[in-house]
Amino acid sequence: MISSPPKWLRILPGWLVLGAATLGPIGTKLPAPGTWGSLAGILYTLVFFRRLGWEQTVVWTVIASLLAVLLTGEAARRMKKSDPGEVILDEFVVIPLVFLGWHAGYPGRLPEWAAVAAGFALFRFFDILKPLGISRLQRWPDGWGIVADDFVAALAACGALHLGAWLWALR
């Protein structure tokens, strides 16, 4: 865990840190910013991760999540809040995990639009209700707590989506 933010992060201008952590006006101007951040994450996933394998998706998402830990933690410090609702970079960067193995593993079983809609709904379910101990992850310090619960919520949504696809195929 990082006890104090790296110097390079502390010297970044506030508009840059807060703008990245809130995805600009999405987190600050729209109602239900977590939902909008998740929808932006769906678009991000479809544009950049649609054709990648699960291994590449995991690597890039872990890298993006580590950067999000730094930026969201710094944004929270600057906002003087522990987990500001306006900070939605965490939802955005983890959404690709919801669809791990989907494009390569389940062709033709479920229409893509249905898989995307179900993945979005499942992620929001796990992100909002935080069952299965996910809520405990928010107690981690700084950006770790901001990002970790969403990271695990995305993996739980992925598991539920795969289970649903399997059950769909049995019908």
Instruction: Answer whether residue 49 is part of any domain.
Output: yes
17-34 average pLDDT score: 96
Instruction: Answer whether residue 1 is part of any domain.
Output: no
> How many structural domains are present in the chain?
1
Burial label, 38 (beta-carbon count in 10 A; 0-12, 13-18, 19+): buried
pTM for this prediction: 0.92
> Which pLDDT band holds residue 108 (cuts at 50, 70, 90)?
low
122-131 average pLDDT score: 96
Instruction: Answer whether residue 65 is part of any domain.
Output: yes
112-131 average pLDDT score: 94
Name every residue whose Cβ is closer than 8 Å to that of residue 38 and which is 6 or more positions away in sequence: 88, 91, 92, 95, 120, 123, 124, 127
* Residue 165 scores a pLDDT above 90: no
The larger pLDDT score, comparing residue 165 to residue 157, is at 157
Range of the domain at 104: 7-170
CA angle, corner 12, sides to 39 and 96, nearest 5? 25
Instruction: Answer whether residue 142 is part of any domain.
Output: yes
